[in-house]
């Protein structure tokens, strides 16, 4: 085992390679979020109501959570470059399926397939942590996560502009082509890796349960991740519907530009990663959860004012993204040879929270409007704060 880990580190993590991994993660994860600014347009295209359109995001998130559970653990036992190449080919086909959708049911199935196969970032993040020099894992995770989160946020801007100008289907054809180009680059840029564990697939999946039982920090991180990402998805799922009506009356192109605002928060992710290498991550996480609470207070009380909405978006994205970096940094230190499995537990739970948030965001908007969305998102963040505070008060293990 030690030999495997040494061989992987000898490959090195240069600045250029780290940047490539970060950009690749951002380009790939964007596939999950192209639909959010376009939900109102897709809704009209199929003659659906907001609840039915919101289910598109839910299907994507559920597919992503299942894909992480089934496939991301393979990063501990497979050669990662070939594994990533296969995933990119599969997600390209899935995106073509979305672009060619002829019914809402077809759209649901294709969106689920996109989520199922868009798991490349969750293979790349543990890869970066393994290649990084000792003491620099937080920095590496922060850099890759920053790229991933910029991809999440900028995807909304790009899809709003392209989809709003030429139609939502064009956005998905472009996304499919981008994945095929990235596939060719991965074959030439990424080094080959060696597995960090020798274990059968069935035992690999079963071992995640023992990791959850063994590590209280993993349980805490996963629940906080789910709560934060639920709040994140509640906001972004409902935002296009909110901006389309009073008092804003914005188009999908303008709604997508809010992703640029959120990108300002993503720039703080590398800083959080560096801090997590030096300061106890749990303290950083508590402070960032408070930022999330402040963002939803702004949304609920002053959401009709553009300045308050913009400020809330920056605070929320910095809080959610920074918390994710700090969480991943501390769980990777629990059991280095099991990093892919630790990441699977963390991210499956996180994106199940995101899937619930996507559904809850559209449901709350349909039933209670923006005030319902604000209460739902704020409640999700408050749950995460309770988990964090409870862990601080519990006896040390």
| pLDDT for residue 175 is more than 80 | yes
Express each pLDDT in 275-312 by its tens digit.
766 777 888 899 999 999 999 999 999 999 999 999 99
CA angle 52, 58, 61 (to 5 degrees): 160
Q: What pLDDT is recorded for position 20?
A: 93
- Would the pTM of this model clear 0.85, i.e. be above it? no
pLDDT in tens, 317-355: 888 888 888 898 889 889 888 888 898 899 889 988 988
Give the integer Cα–Cα distance in Å for 295 and 310. Answer: 10
CATH of segment(s) 2-393: 1.20.1250.20
2 pLDDT more than 60: no
pLDDT-based confidence at residue 241 (cuts at 50, 70, 90)? confident
Give the range among 17-21, 200-204, 216-220 with minimum mean pLDDT: 200-204
Identify the band that residue 74 occupies on the pLDDT scale cut at 50, 70 and 90: confident
Q: Residues 247-257: pLDDT tens digits?
A: 888 876 777 67
**Quick one: pLDDT band at residue 116, thresholds 50, 70, 90?**
very high
Share of the chain above pLDDT 70, in %: 90
The Cα 183–Cα 13 span in angstroms is 20
**Could you write out the DSSP letters of every residue in 171-225?**
HHHHHHHHHHHHHHHHHHHSPP---S----HHHHHHHHHHHHHH-HHHHHHHHHH
Would you list the domain boundaries of the chain?
2-393
Spatial separation of the C-alpha atoms in residues 299 and 305, rounded to whole Å: 9
**Rounded distance between C-alpha atoms, residue 118 and residue 109, angstroms:** 14
More confident site: 225 or 129: 225
């Amino acid at each position: 085992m030690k030999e495997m880990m040494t061989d992987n580190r000898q490959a090195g993590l240069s600045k250029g390679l780290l940047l490539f991994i970060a950009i690749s993660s951002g380009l790939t994860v964007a596939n999950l979020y192209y639909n959010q600014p376009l939900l109102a347009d897709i809704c009209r295209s199929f003659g659906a109501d907001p609840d039915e359109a919101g289910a598109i995001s839910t299907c994507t998130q559920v597919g992503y959570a299942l894909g992480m559970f089934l496939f991301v653990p393979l990063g501990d036992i497979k050669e990662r470059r070939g594994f990533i190449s296969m995933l990119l080919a599969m997600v390209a086909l899935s995106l073509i399926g979305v672009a060619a959708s002829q019914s809402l049911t077809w759209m649901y199935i294709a969106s689920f397939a996109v989520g199922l196969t868009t798991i490349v970032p969750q293979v790349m993040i543990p890869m970066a942590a393994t290649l990084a020099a000792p003491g620099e894992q937080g920095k590496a995770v922060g850099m890759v996560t920053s790229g991933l989160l910029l991809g999440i946020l900028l995807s909304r801007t790009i899809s709003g502009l392209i989809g709003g100008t030429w139609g939502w289907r064009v956005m998905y054809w472009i996304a499919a082509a981008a994945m095929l180009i990235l596939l060719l680059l991965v074959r030439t840029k990424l080094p080959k890796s060696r597995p960090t564990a020798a274990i059968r697939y069935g035992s690999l999946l079963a071992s995640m349960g023992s990791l959850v039982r063994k590590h209280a920090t993993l349980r805490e991180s996963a629940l906080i991740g789910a709560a934060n990402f639920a709040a994140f998805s509640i906001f972004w799922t409902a935002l296009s519907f909110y901006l389309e009506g009073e008092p804003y009356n914005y188009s999908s192109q303008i709604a997508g530009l809010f992703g640029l605002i959120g990108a300002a928060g993503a720039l703080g992710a590398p800083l959080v990663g560096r801090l997590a290498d030096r300061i106890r991550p749990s303290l950083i996480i508590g402070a960032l959860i408070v930022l999330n609470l402040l963002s939803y207070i702004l949304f609920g009380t002053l959401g009709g004012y553009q300045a308050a909405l913009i400020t809330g978006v920056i605070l929320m994205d910095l809080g959610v993204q920074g918390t994710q970096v700090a969480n991943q940094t501390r769980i990777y230190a629990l059991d280095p040879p099991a990093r892919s499995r630790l990441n699977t537990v963390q991210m499956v739970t996180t994106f199940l929270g995101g899937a619930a948030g996507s559904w809850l965001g559209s449901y709350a908007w349909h039933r209670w409007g923006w005030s319902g969305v604000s209460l739902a998102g704020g409640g999700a963040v408050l749950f995460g704060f309770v988990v964090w505070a409870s862990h601080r008060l519990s006896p040390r293990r």
